[in-house]
Amino acid sequence: MTEPVTTAKRPGPAPTEAVVRIEGLSKSFDGRLVLDDVHLEVGRGRIVSVIGQSGGGKTTLMRCVNLLERPDRGTVEVAGDVVHSGGRTVCRDLPRLRRTVGMVFQRFNLFPHLTAVENVVLAQRKAGVPEQEALERAVTLLRRVGVAHRGLAQPDQLSGGEQQRVAIARALALKPEVLLFDEPTSSLDPEATREVLGVMRELAADGMTMLLVTHELPFAREVADHVVFVDGGRVVEEGDPRDVLDNPARARTREFLASYGSAS
Ligand SMILES: Nc1ncnc2c1ncn2[C@@H]1O[C@H](COP(=O)(O)OP(=O)(O)O)[C@@H](O)[C@H]1O
Ligand SMILES: [Mg+2]
């Protein structure tokens, strides 16, 4: 893959060990196929952005990666371990998978009764990180996402943008090998969106591997190495962001992008 010539882009790492590899993944709910033979790969240090209409299966796809959802068919491999194959979950070390894959949700999902710091400490404590170390790491991460000064606040005292940045700090707490973002800015106002995208841009610049569902197409164009358009549970088109977003080959992709433009 050639590297786009923009300054925001990180230098691409040497090609590529897959951190996430999905092959032939299918999933039905109540007899209705919502993912149909999906193949997708995220190389180490790469950023893959999934785009598509609501209901197209994007969240289900993300949830299959960290086994919040069980695929019916296909293989899911994370950091070299097969975690799902042929309709069976074969992950033998779920705590390890949880450490390897960090996830940021649309609605933050912070623990409401815990402070920001405690939200970032909790997963570390469960993973056996010594308390002092967990605390120091929490403060460092909250500083990194720009909310250290809000460390003692509880989620309902934080703005949406602050909550999402705490959620990103939490997702980073166990030093994951890949971060999954599922529409991380969809419930945020424009200013909070800008803050959160700023943090994600810095993670990208630091070389974090990411699988990202987003409606922020300019952001996808800027940071993603690869864009995947999913529609009706199938990968319709994928490739370099400049091809898929600016010069799509498929009529369905063009239709999606056009409707999208008029909606925003
Ligand atoms: N747990 C579930 N039970 C039944 N249907 C579901 C479940 N989760 C998702 N679906 C359905 O699967 C389809 C894809 O959903 P989803 O993966 O959330 O799409 P997207 O994230 O692209 O909007 C939708 O029709 C949704 O209603
Ligand atoms: Mg979704």
Q: Annotate 86-100 with DSSP letters as a single string.
A: TTEE--S-HHHHHHH
Structure tokens at 98: 């949880």
> CB under 6 Å to ligand 1: residues?
29-30, 34, 52, 54-60
pLDDT band at 9 (very low <50, low <70, confident <90, very high): low
Burial (CB count within 10 angstroms: exposed 0-12, middle 13-18, buried 19+), residue 44: middle
Q: What pTM, to 2 d.p., does this model score?
A: 0.91
- Closest residue by Cα to atom 4, ligand 1, is 29
H/E run at residue 226: strand 226-231
Helices 116-126 + 131-144 axis angle, to 10: 130
Question: Ligand 2: distance of its center to the CA of 132 in Å?
Answer: 37
Ligand lying nearest the CA atom of residue 60: 1
Q: pLDDT of 148-203, one tens digit each?
A: 999 999 999 999 999 999 999 999 999 999 999 999 999 999 999 999 999 999 99
Res. 14: pLDDT tops 70: no
Of all protein residues, the one whose alpha carbon is nearest to atom 14 of ligand 1 is: 57
Q: Which atom of ligand 1 is nearest to the CA of 62?
A: 17
Tokens 């940021």 label which residue? 104
Average pLDDT of the chain to the nearest whole number: 92
**What does the pLDDT read at residue 16?**
67
Question: Which domains, from first to last, does the chain contain?
Answer: 18-263 (3.40.50.300)
pLDDT tens digits for range 61-107: 999 999 999 999 999 999 999 999 988 888 989 999 999 999 999 98
The residue whose CA is least distant from atom 9 of ligand 1 is 60
